[in-house]
Amino acid sequence: MSKQVLERVGATIAVVPHFPKDGIMFRDISGLLASPQEREEAFDLLYQAAKDKQIDAVAGMDARGFIFGLAVAERLKKPFIMIRKPSKLPNSIALSYELEYGSNTLEIQKEATQGKNVWIVDDLLATGGTALAACQLVEMAGGKVAGTSFLVELDGLPGRSKLEAKGYSVHTVLNYDVDSTTVVPK
């Protein structure tokens, strides 16, 4: 994709200072989701990262990862696996983890990924807590992580290094400095 496409997609993502708590620069994808052309371009950019990989299924995290992960799964013609917040899936296993402004728990259905190479998709990579928990859940459910992709990466936070240290490949479309409102297309 061209630099112009990356710039158009990046222009739809607003930065909201001090949300959900003081000191956080929240990246709001509402504008992207409301812009059909840029939304489709974003989906295509995420698909490009996965299209030539050995993938049996795509997983996404509750809730924004559902949007982007399902779009990638549709383009790949592969099953989609939900990684959800607590008490939303029957017959599930759970994992609690820390993130940049608190803690959380994710769940996946037992054996959902059994014997599958799974590509994990989410909207944002920051400290890596959610993404790492998703990778671990895929493995706990019997699968192998084929790679990860994110629409936005916050440079200056340890998300990428945390995932790569565990051997997971990381692909991102747009990069922001953690304290900046400026997007840096890759």
Which residues have a catalytic role annotated? 64, 100
**Distance between alpha carbon 58 and the CA centroid of its chain, in Å?**
11
Q: How far apart are CA 171 and CA 175, in angstroms?
A: 11
Q: At what angle do helices 36-50 and 64-76 cross, to 10 degrees?
A: 60
Question: 36 — phi, psi (to 5°)?
Answer: -55, -45
Q: How far apart are CA 80 and CA 36, in angstroms?
A: 22
**Going by C-beta distance under 8 Å and a sequence separation of 6 or more, which residues neighbour residue 72?**
43, 46, 47, 50, 58, 119, 121, 149
**Count H helices, E strands: the chain?**
6, 10
